[in-house]
Chains A and B, each alone.
Chain A
């Protein structure tokens, strides 16, 4: 019996209306997250992984962004049709988000403590004194040493790893059930990255939170995710349980990504490359968006867009030849 379903994103479409034309940034994204589960959303720049998260949070810049279809359901409630007041309640209180660049996500002119306490006093109506106490507890939770002293410091006085910890503390302030982490460790050194990923995993299992981890890093995904959704050109091209996906990818794009990754534990491996470039979102190729770069493409791929279909074992893939792709590795 799986845990409670927290978030469902269904057939989400988002366009950016720019002076250069209409960019179709999301073309029908579907995913679901349960309590206690880590879903990794993997993709390269421009694949739409962050825009999906921003739509869920209701923090899309509009204009240029316009949601043109689909639904975002949190515990069954459609957030896209909810009132702005309700959205504000959900944002932070039910679903919180942390960002890649903690220095620009934190306000430089307020102390770290103030930024955490603000939520507690405004949203929970805590007194200043209680809020300070709670904020120090939160900084302790994310293992910031000497929290009672450092709470009076400004973001620039924190190191990169400490800032990311402070942001995690802030996201936990209202005790959310779902946390979205958008490239939380991309700007950090590898030893610090390991510390932060540990911390996230620990907090998640303690609180049985749902975690959406947005990343471009296959290795990070392999270490922490339960399930993986691979995005390409504004669509999910494959979704599977993590060991399944790494054992035998079900989409040529996933397969190619893995073959192009230099690995620490493999010596003298030849790197396969993916020819060409990701498509411009102003002009996505017809049929399968990956076909111009795909080794397996045939004429059918140029005209007929493959639907996301189930391959069993909880795996879905949007490729006409998904079965062959999977069996070629098995």
Chain B
């Protein structure tokens, strides 16, 4: 059994909410990530799904050390990510990179593509000596399927899909081992989305990358992931292999989420059982006691309000945080 490359234990991130004009006082905390644990194995893709506000992007930000955690532990190849400072942190950034959702705002419009992709080499000079940088950038453009001759162009001269490729090239520049993809294809048209997804798959094989793949689109996550974690209000409610989650989901939220996804086959219309959730996601400022999903759950009992269900192996062997976990097929 190989060692996990990235290990996250009980990660917590609260954002304080302040009020008052002169004397700011903290009136509460947005519990964006509230006790998340997972292991990422070398070469695998862990899909993280959930609706807006479930904390999946905050998770990415904290793992990149773009936000400081409130609590918990994360180790990369045994090194404590949150304890690193200065040179150690810089070294870590070579190993873990991020691809962001919006290819329009995540690239500096005043920099050429060559400067954008080459900027990591400015900071990590040991990776590429000055003379070899232009050649490296050209290689990277070629790897992500862009024309290396376009090295002097600006981001606005590229389409959305091409810009996302630029973002991927930048992430690859330092030869990382882990790439955190935060909704990398959700801003793209269908025909372009497939190109970028295939590219991510090819790069993973070629460079042996591990991905944390964050997305709200369950079809996209199924396509790319080996394992999947489902998040709700800052917690993982269910985690298992792609097959376990999609074919035998046992948490009511996962079941509802999967059943709500439209399927591109009119023959299935009216044949599928769709679980309709009532109401909206509660505020992360004041999440419900016990199980956070209980306010919208059709299985909820008294125990759900009193006792928080642990994320442990239930019914058919994968992790589920529900007192009444029961595998059920919802995807045709």
B264 touches A219 (CB 8 A): yes
Q: Is the CB of A264 within 8 A of B246?
A: yes
CB-based contact A222/B223 at 8 Å: no
Q: Does B274 lie at the interface of the complex (its beta carbon under 8 Å from any beta carbon of A)?
A: yes
Residues of B close to A160: CB separation below 8 A? 52
Given A191-B51, A246-B266; A216-B218 close (CB under 8 Å): no
Query: Are A191 and B191 in contact, CB atoms less than 8 angstroms apart?
Result: no
Q: Is A303's beta carbon under 8 Å from chain B?
A: no
Question: Is A260 in contact with B260, judged by CB distance below 8 angstroms?
Answer: no
Task: Give the contacting residue for A265; candidates B193, B257, B332; CB below 8 A.
Answer: B332
A265→B260 CA distance, assembly (Å): 13
**At the interface, yes or no: B312 with Cβ under 8 Å from chain A?**
no
Q: Is the CB of A216 within 8 A of B189?
A: yes
Instruction: Evaluate contact between A272 and B266: CB separation under 8 angstroms.
Output: no
Cross-chain pair count, CB within 8 angstroms: 126
User: Is residue A193 contacting chain B, with contact meaning CB distance below 8 A?
Assistant: yes
**Considering residues A193, A223, A256, which has the most beta carbons from chain B within 10 angstroms of its beta carbon?**
A223
Interface residue A44 (Cβ < 8 Å from any Cβ of B): yes
CB–CB B191/A190 < 8 A: no
Report yes or no: B263 in contact with A277, Cβ–Cβ below 8 A: no
- A190 contacts B222, CB within 8 Å? no
Contact of A190 among B193, B198, B261, B265 (CB under 8 A): B261
B254 to chain A, nearest CB (A): 12
* A261 adjacent to chain B (CB < 8 Å): yes
In contact, A264 and B256 (Cβ under 8 angstroms): no
**How does the 8 Å CB contact mask read for A226-247 relative to B, with 1 for contact and 0 for none?**
0000000000000000110010
Residues of B within 8 A of A277 (CB): 159, 161-162, 192
| B223 close to A269 (CB less than 8 A) | yes
User: Closest CB-CB distance, B104 to chain A, in whole Å?
Assistant: 12
B257 and A190 within 8 A (CB): yes
Known A-B contacts A264-B258, A265-B332; the reply to A189 vs B51 at CB < 8 A is yes
> Whole-angstrom distance between the alpha carbons of A20 and B184 in the complex?
31
Interface flag for B243 (CB, 8 Å) = yes
Min CB distance, B55 to chain A, in Å? 14
Residues of the A chain whose Cβ atoms lie less than 8 Å from the Cβ of B267: 243, 246
Known: A191-B257, A262-B222, A264-B246. A223 touches B263 (CB 8 A): yes
Given known contacts A223-B263, A269-B223, A260 and B159 CB-to-CB distance under 8 angstroms: no
| A191 vs B52: C-alpha distance when bound (angstroms) | 11
Contacts of B258 in A (CB 8 A): 264
Separation in Å of the A283 CB from the closest CB of chain B?
14
Verify B263–A222 contact, CB threshold 8 A. Answer: yes
Which residues 127-172 in B have Cβ within 8 Å of A in the complex? 159-162
State whether A161 and B280 are in contact (beta carbons under 8 Å apart), knowing that A190-B51, A264-B261 are contacts in the complex.
yes
> Which residues of A are at the interface with B, using a C-beta cutoff of 8 A?
44-45, 159-162, 189-195, 197-198, 216-223, 242-243, 246, 256-258, 260-265, 267, 269, 271-274, 277-278
19 pairs across A/B with beta carbons < 8 Å?
A190-B257, A191-B51, A191-B260, A191-B277, A192-B280, A193-B260, A198-B276, A217-B262, A222-B268, A223-B263, A261-B219, A262-B197, A264-B258, A267-B222, A267-B243, A271-B223, A273-B191, A273-B198, A274-B191
